[in-house]
């Protein structure tokens, strides 16, 4: 059991008998009124998102969740195949669990998973990944007076805005939290 003020993004909790993952949590204090915790929770089984208000003194049940590191191998018809970096065991994770992270998954990418009762309940990429650009429009000469961004397609199929000097075949670093270009990757 934890106090409501200890809620953080990514924490797994049990609320009203169901398993939830905290998507957002913020402490709210308004004038002379009692402060509270406002949380946005995603139901693990049903997938719906709810907003909940907890008193700062509320006690919240936290299940035992095991954190493990995996390496992404490939995607097939059943889902995304990951390999445990310690035991070399392979598991398959569904697209529901992976979510939007699939846009930044490339082979041999390290990922962190939370496991509850043998099932993967959350999937997290590193904050920065290196991906190759497969397609981008050519540079327009003389249009370098100001910083211009153009669309580029990554090896995973995701689209990202990049500076005009970036060309197909370049490897770039992308922030997986925002989906933004950071810089060119150093070889």
Q: Are 94 and 108 in contact (CB under 8 A)?
A: no
Q: Tokens for 153, please give them.
A: 């397609």
Q: Do both 51 and 70 map to the same domain? A: no
Give the CATH number of the domain where residue 138 resides.
Answer: 2.40.50.140
Q: Which of 8, 17, 112 is nearest to 63 (CA)?
A: 17
Check whether residue 72 and residue 108 sit in a common domain. yes
pLDDT digits (tens, 9 = 90+) for 55-90: 888 899 988 888 889 999 998 898 999 999 899 999
Host domain of residue 70 = 66-124
- The mean pLDDT of 131-151, rounded to a whole number, is 79
The β-bridge relationship of strands 79-84 and 90-93 is antiparallel
In the chain, the number of structural domains is 3
The pTM for the full model equals: 0.70
Same domain, residue pair 154 and 108 = no
CA distance 177 to 128: 8
């Amino acid at each position: 059991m934890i106090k409501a003020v200890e809620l953080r993004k990514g924490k797994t909790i049990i609320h009203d008998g169901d398993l939830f993952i905290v998507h957002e949590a913020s402490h709210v204090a308004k004038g002379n009124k009692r402060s509270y915790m406002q949380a946005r929770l995603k139901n693990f089984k049903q997938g719906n998102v709810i907003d909940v208000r907890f008193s700062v003194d509320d006690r919240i049940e936290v299940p035992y969740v095991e954190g493990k590191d995996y390496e992404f191998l490939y995607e097939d018809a059943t889902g995304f195949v990951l390999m445990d970096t310690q035991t070399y065991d392979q598991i398959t994770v569904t697209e529901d669990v992976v979510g939007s992270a699939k846009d930044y998954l490339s082979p041999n990418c390290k990922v962190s998973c939370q496991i509850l009762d043998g099932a993967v309940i959350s999937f997290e990429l590193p904050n920065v990944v290196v991906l190759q650009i497969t397609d981008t429009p050519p540079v327009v000469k003389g249009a370098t007076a100001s910083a211009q961004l153009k669309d580029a397609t990554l090896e995973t199929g995701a689209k990202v805005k990049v500076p005009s000097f970036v060309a197909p075949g370049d490897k770039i670093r992308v922030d997986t939290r925002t989906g933004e270009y950071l810089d060119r990757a150093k070889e």
